[in-house]
A = this chain, B = another copy of it.
Amino acid sequence: MARRPTIADVAELAGVSRATVSFVLNNRPGVALATQERVRSAAEKLGWTPSRSARALSTGRARAVGLVLAREPELIGTDPFYPAFMAGIESVISETGDGLMLQMSRPGDEVETYRRLAADRRVDGVFLTDLRLDDPRPGLVAELGLPAIAVGGIESDRDLPTVNLDDRPVVRNAVRHLVELGHRNIAYVAGPEEFVHARRRREAWADALAEAGLPRGTSLPGGFTAEGGARATRALLDLPTPPTAIVYGNDLSATAGMAVAQDAGLRLPDDLSVVGFDDVPLASWTSPTLTTCRANPVLWGRAAAQALVEMIEHGTTADVELDPATLVIRGSTGPVPVRGSR
Contacts and interface: CB of A to CB of B under 8 A. Distances in A.
A84 to B, nearest CB: 5
A287 B257 CA distance: 11
Given A49-B119, A120-B52, A64 B101 contact: yes
A263 to B, nearest CB: 7
Contact of A51 (B121, B281, B286, B298): B121
B281 A77 contact: yes
Contacts of A256: 282, 285
Interface string A208-225: 000000000000000001
A259 B287 contact: yes
A82 B79 CA distance: 12
Interface size class on chain A is 35 or more
Nearest to A122: B52
Contacts of A104: 86-87, 90-91, 94
Given A1-B145, A83-B83, A252-B281, A102 B103 contact: no
Given A87-B76, A87-B104, A230 B285 contact: yes
A17 interface: no
Interface string A95-114: 00101111110000000000
Given A99-B103, A103-B94, A54 B51 contact: no
B282 A255 contact: yes
A145 B2 CA distance: 11
B57 A54 contact: yes
8 closest cross-chain pairs (CB), A and B: A77-B80, A53-B56, A256-B285, A49-B119, A76-B83, A90-B104, A53-B57, A52-B120
Interface in A55-90: 56-57, 62, 64, 69, 73, 76-84, 86-87, 90
A49 B120 contact: yes
Given A64-B101, A77-B80, A77-B84, 14 more contacts: A52-B56, A56-B56, A73-B298, A77-B280, A77-B281, A79-B83, A86-B104, A87-B104, A90-B102, A97-B120, A99-B103, A226-B284, A286-B286, A287-B287
Given A53-B121, A84-B73, A100-B103, A286 B298 contact: no
